[in-house]
Amino acid sequence: MRWCRRTLTAASLLILCGCGTAVLRQPVGVQVVNLCADLPSITLRVDGQDLLSEAKSSQLAVDYQRASRQFDVNPGPHHIEVLADGLSVLNYTQTWAEGRHACLQVLGRINTLVAGDSVTWLAVQRSTTPDADHAGIRVSHALAGYGPVDVEVEPAAGSPVPVAAALAYGAASANEPLLVPHGAVRLRIRQGETLIWDQSYQVDAMTVYNFALSGALQAPTVVTWSGA
């Protein structure tokens, strides 16, 4: 059997040729989000290679509470390195599933005495895309030192729908987003009986929206971005 690898596009689709058949391996669309309050800006290396800006002249930098553009990687395991000011702050291996859309969230604190609050990552991968009548909602908890929260979303023409119960720091509501009718929605986050976030958003059909609890312990906020 003869195996060969051929680059088809910038997305790095793979053709594996054997016994006269061709199997297309779909790339993984990855988005990076900086949710670490101690890191004003981060860059990323994948398998030792710097991710570059669209201009290809500099590294792709992601500021605090911002999301990167989506970039494509081949499915399978990859060595991920997160850098701040050129210094490595996080190293680990991540396996991406073929054809998925993935979100890599960098969270935690640099200066902490709590081991569980140090710089870490949260990776979620989805295989579905909302249809023409729905948007997708996913929520993550990225506020180090803050206790579990309950999350619900209320569509304009519906009743409140639970998104997550007792969502702990470093976790996401699910890999696959919750589908809601597109249009106006209201997101509410509670810790116990205390309402800590109550905000309206406009969500478009066929789009996934991520919401992350972030900010400071005394003043929690929610960061939102669309994409993976």
Q: d(Cα 1, Cα 3) in Å, to the nearest integer? A: 7
The CATH class of the 27-127 domain is mainly beta
The per-residue pLDDT for 116 is 62
**pLDDT tens figures, 4-51:** 333 333 333 443 334 455 556 789 999 999 999 999 999 999 999 998
Contacts of 136 (CB under 8 A, 6+ apart): 126, 128, 129, 130, 176, 177, 178, 179, 180, 207, 208, 209
What does the CA dihedral 108, 112, 114, 118 come to, rounded to 10 degrees? 30
| Cα radius of gyration rounded to whole Å, the chain | 19
In this structure, which amino acid lies at residue 40?
Answer: P
Fold of 129-228: Immunoglobulin-like (2.60.40)
The per-residue pLDDT for 8 is 32
pLDDT band at 57, cuts 50/70/90?
low
The per-residue pLDDT for 112 is 61
Q: How many residues are recorded in the chain?
A: 228
**pLDDT tens figures, 88-128:** 999 999 999 999 999 999 999 887 655 567 899 999 999 99
Q: Does residue 141 contact residue 169 with C-beta atoms inside 8 Å? A: yes
pLDDT band at 157, cuts 50/70/90?
confident
Mean pLDDT is lowest, of 55-64, 85-94, 166-175, for 55-64
Q: d(Cα 128, Cα 112) in Å, to the nearest integer? A: 37
Q: Does residue 181 contact residue 205 with C-beta atoms inside 8 Å? A: no
Alpha carbon distances (Å) from 51 to 26, 45, 98, 119:
20, 6, 20, 20
Sign of the torsion formed by the C-alpha atoms of 168, 171, 172 and 173: negative
Which of 102, 207, 190 is closest to 148 using CA atoms? 190
The boundaries of every CATH 2.60.40.1120 domain in the chain are 129-228
CA 103 to chain centre: 3
The pTM for the full model equals: 0.86
